[in-house]
Amino acid sequence: MTRLERLAAWALDPEYAEELLGDLQESRARRMERGGTRAARLRYAWDLTSACVLVSRARTAESRQAVPALAALALVLVLMARGLAFPEQPIPYTINAHDPFGRFTLDIRGTRVVGATLDGKPVPAGRLRQDGLRLVILNGAGVRDFQVTIKPEGGITWDARPAKEVSLP
């Protein structure tokens, strides 16, 4: 649960909080599937803030309702400005590359390699060893096949492997 969701859970009438938060999260997920992650996050923040105003704990007196609503709105704006309300989820991407030895792909989420292929064949997870931004792909004998460095801003660097030795019949 994000900080913003915890704040909303506190500010909302407990009778409605769980169901309302669940509905808003589902709505946010649908918007994110359609694209526009930033717009979906902003709309979600707006929806949470509106819910805090409309279904506040302090519904007994109209004058008391404005205080938690304004506090929630102020906190939402501060959290959004600092980027804390909705931490970015790393977007997965695939690198297709080749060198003299052959083609390979890397499936990356953020700076983490989650899958790889060599010459179109999947590399078993046990042969992928990642330490920080450095990835070592082991060959079948458990010896380093080659090393790749993941760039935090996206992409990779590596030293090209030499061409395969072709034996002539």
pLDDT at residue 95, rounded to an integer: 93
pLDDT, greater one: 44 or 159: 159
pLDDT at residue 64, rounded to an integer: 58
Asked if 111 and 133 touch (Cβ cutoff 8 Å), the reply is: yes
- With a CB cutoff of 8 Å and minimum separation 6, the contacts of 111 are 90, 133, 150, 152
pLDDT, mean of residues 71-85: 66
* Residue whose C-alpha is closest to residue 109's, from 84, 86, 130: 130
pLDDT at residue 68, rounded to an integer: 67
Q: What would the pLDDT profile of 109-152 be if each residue is shown by its tens digit? A: 888 999 999 989 999 999 999 999 999 998 877 777 789 999 98
CB count in 10 Å sphere of residue 130: 15
pLDDT, greater one: 122 or 37: 122
- Round to whole Å and give the CA distance between 168 and 149: 35
Q: Quickly state the pLDDT bin for 89 (edges 50, 70, 90).
A: low
3 state SS for the chain: CCHHHHHHHHHECHHHHHHHHHHHHHHHHHHHHCCCHHHHHHHHHHHHHHHHHHCECCCCCHHHHHHHHHHHHHHHHHHHHHCCCCCCCCCEEEEEEEECCEEEEEEEECCEEEEEEECCEECCHHHEEEECCEEEEECCCCCEEEEEEECCCCCEEECCCCCCCCCCC
Q: What would the pLDDT profile of 7-36 be if each residue is shown by its tens digit? A: 777 777 777 788 888 888 888 888 877 776
pLDDT, mean of residues 91-95: 89
Of 18-22, 43-47, 76-80, 135-139, which gets the smallest average pLDDT? 76-80
Residue 85, pLDDT above cutoff 60: no
pLDDT, mean of residues 89-113: 89
Q: What would the pLDDT profile of 51-67 be if each residue is shown by its tens digit? A: 777 776 655 455 555 66
- With a CB cutoff of 8 Å and minimum separation 6, the contacts of 108 are 92, 93, 94, 95, 114, 150
